[in-house]
Amino acid sequence: MPPRTARRLTSFTSSDRPLYDQVRQRLIEGISAGEWRAGEAIPPEIELSQSFGVSIGTIRKAVDALVAHRALVRRQGKGTFVTAHDIGQLAFHFFHIVPRDGAKVYPEVRTVGFRRDRGDPMSARALQIAPHDKVIRIRNVLSLAGAPVSVDDITLAAELFRGLSEKHFVSRGNTIYHLYQSRYGINVLRTEERLRAVLAKGDVAQHLGVAEGAPLLEIRRLALSFRDRPVELRLSHVNTARHEYYNTLGKGEAL
């Protein structure tokens, strides 16, 4: 066996980071750059192993990390694919409003507002854009089993979503993230959410069909892509009379 140091230098410049970490980084770059798009397969492990000049075990360790982050999915006998935010269980990964009794249902989305605007200081800071850069503001009303449950006010950096228009929001389901991915190549990987209880008022109360002063769950969500790049800011007001926000901390599966 040739000395490892020599081989490492053929593919990677010297670095103190582990090899699998560098491979992981390269895969991320390939996905971000659109080299492999959502739903497409990345090259087979053996091929990656050869082109990167590392062992298959190292490739597997790099891929493992990306699978854990839901950036990739493995399918035995078929290949390893870039995660697609299609309708399906994955759509629920970032949608946590469930009926207090029954089972999960797909939400119906109705877009009631769409306009271009200048960013306010709060949004701009969250989205990491300049204070008065252009933004797109969308208001959606989400219904479950026919009844309105949540009013979502979405803010996007116009820079990232050129050419976005109201007609793109006719699709079924909560998969705006699928739209981001298929049309703009932006993969939402994780979100940060801040929840509070507030009192209903104004048009939000009207949309939800509740009285002013009714208790609502307020959710401020920031959606992030690779390298924690901010993608979307969303302010939701949820009527929790018949629904609730369900969350599981620690790995979801039992040990």
Partner DNA sequence: AAGTGGTCTAGACCACTAG
Partner DNA sequence: TAGTGGTCTAGACCACTTC
Q: Which residue ranges make up the site for DNA (CB under 7 A)?
A: 1-2, 4, 7-8, 18-21, 41-42, 44-47, 53-58, 60-61, 74-80
213 binds, among DNA, a second copy, none (CB under 5 to 8 A by kind): a second copy
Question: Contact between 92 and a second copy (CB under 8 A)?
Answer: no
**Closest CB 184 distance from a second copy, rounded Å:** 18
50 touches 11 (CB < 8 A): no
Footprint of a second copy on 6-35 (CB under 8 A): 24, 28
What distance in Å separates the CA atoms of residue 252 and residue 78, rounded to the nearest whole number?
26
**Closest CB 197 distance from DNA, rounded Å:** 41
Question: Contact between 131 and a second copy (CB under 8 A)?
Answer: no
**Closest CB 46 distance from DNA, rounded Å:** 6
- Cα dist. 224→113, 172, 197, 211, 220 in Å? 23, 23, 24, 34, 13
Question: Contact between 167 and a second copy (CB under 8 A)?
Answer: no
Whether the CA torsion 170, 171, 172, 175 is positive or negative: it is negative
- DSSP state, 180? H
Q: Which is nearer to a second copy, 134 or 153 (CB)?
A: 153
User: Which of these, 145, 78, 77, 155, lies nearest to 107 by C-alpha position?
Assistant: 145
Q: Which residues contact 140 (CB under 8 A, 6 or more apart)?
A: 109, 110, 111, 112, 151, 152, 154, 169
Q: Output the six-digit token pair for 63.
A: 């891929």
Question: Contact between 176 and a second copy (CB under 8 A)?
Answer: no
Site for a second copy, rule CB under 8 A: 24, 28, 66, 68-71, 93-94, 96, 100, 189-199, 213, 215-218, 224, 226-228, 238, 240, 244-252, 254-255
